[in-house]
A and B are shown apart, each in its own frame.
Chain A
Amino acid sequence: AQSVAQPEDQVNVAEGNPLTVKCTYSVSGNPYLFWYVQYPNRGLQFLLKYITGDNLVKGSYGFEAEFNKSQTSFHLKKPSALVSDSALYFCAVRDGGYQKVTFGIGTKLQVIP
């Protein structure tokens, strides 16, 4: 079975500071990892993914994520937070060869001006 954990319900960060949103996963095969963002009253939007290759993945809006196989983590990062980054962030995992995607419960990011 595959699972994903987002240990923080909410992350608060000051505008201009670096941000990190944490995600850990569990799969039996090779992991395929995704980050999505949801703005209020909107559907989820894809940010970035890790399939294979470089452990540091770059995505939309200046976000990046670091894949760490030994720690089974895929943390989302951004060097300098913007107030407009305030949203709900979801980590998702798919086991290689498995059609279904499992989502975390989401982390609310609040960027304080």
Chain B
Amino acid sequence: NAGVTQTPKFQVLKTGQSMTLQCAQDMNHNSMYWYRQDPGMGLRLIYYSASEGTTDKGEVPNGYNVSRLNKREFSLRLESAAPSQTSVYFCASSETGTGYEQYFGPGTRLTVT
């Protein structure tokens, strides 16, 4: 039982390059989330998926797209990376419902130069 896994762990991109961050969970959770963590800003929600086949914008969706490939996998794509997207990205999953806690992956540290 690996929980939530993310790939890659580290990535360096040049401005304008694209990439996809992968996330998978093996807990049979319906809900999945993408956050970014920046110093002094806490965690900010980029996108979330309440169930397979649905996605919704979070607090900071601009410059990102997501795909809920199946129940296990939720990917985050940067189409044209910008230095402002330098951050640590976390994927999380949870049971559906307001009382359920989230389980987080180990994170991807992205630097855009």
A residues contacting B by CB (< 8 A) are 32, 34, 36, 41-46, 49, 51, 90, 94-101, 103-106
Whether the pair B104, A43 counts as a contact (CB closer than 8 A) is: yes
| Given A43-B4, A43-B106, A100-B58, also A32-B42 (CB < 8 A) | no
Q: Is the CB–CB distance between B40 and A105 below 8 Å?
A: yes
User: Does B101 have its Cβ within 8 Å of any Cβ on chain A?
Assistant: yes
A49-B102 Cα distance, complex, nearest whole Å: 11
Q: In the A-B complex, list the 8 residue pairs whose CB atoms are closest, starting with the nearest.
A: A43-B104, A105-B42, A103-B43, A46-B101, A51-B99, A44-B104, A103-B42, A43-B106
Chain B residues lying within 8 Å of A45, measured Cβ to Cβ, are 104
Asked whether, in the complex, the Cβ of A101 is within 8 Å of the Cβ of B106, the reply is no
Residues in chain B near residue A49, CB distance under 8 A: 99, 101
Given known A-B contacts A43-B107, A44-B90, A90-B43, A101 and B102 have beta carbons under 8 A apart: yes
What residue in chain A is nearest B57 (Cβ atoms)? A100
CA distance A43 to B23 in the complex (A): 13
Query: Is A98 within 8 A of B106, CB to CB?
Result: no
- Residues of B close to A94: CB separation below 8 A: 98
Whether B27 sits at the interface, judged by CB under 8 Å, is no
Give Cα distance in the complex from A97 to B97, angstroms. Answer: 8
With A99-B48, A99-B50, A100-B58: A46-B42 Cβ-Cβ less than 8 Å: no
User: B interface vs A, CB < 8 Å?
Assistant: 4, 31, 33, 35, 40-45, 48, 50, 56, 58, 90, 92, 98-99, 101-107
Q: Is the CB of B48 within 8 A of A100?
A: yes
* CB pair B42 A42 closer than 8 Å: no
Cα A46 to Cα B27 in complex, Å, equals: 15
State the CA gap A80–B31 with chains docked (Å).
Answer: 36
Q: Out of A36, A98, A105, which one reaches B41, CB within 8 Å?
A: A105
A109 to B: closest C-beta gap in Å: 15
A contact residues around B50 at 8 Å (CB):
99
Q: Which residue of A lies closest to B42 (CB)?
A: A105
The residue in chain A whose Cβ has the minimal distance to the Cβ of B3 is A43
Extra contacts besides A44-B90, A96-B98 (9): CB < 8 Å = A41-B107, A43-B105, A44-B92, A45-B104, A46-B103, A51-B99, A94-B98, A99-B48, A103-B42
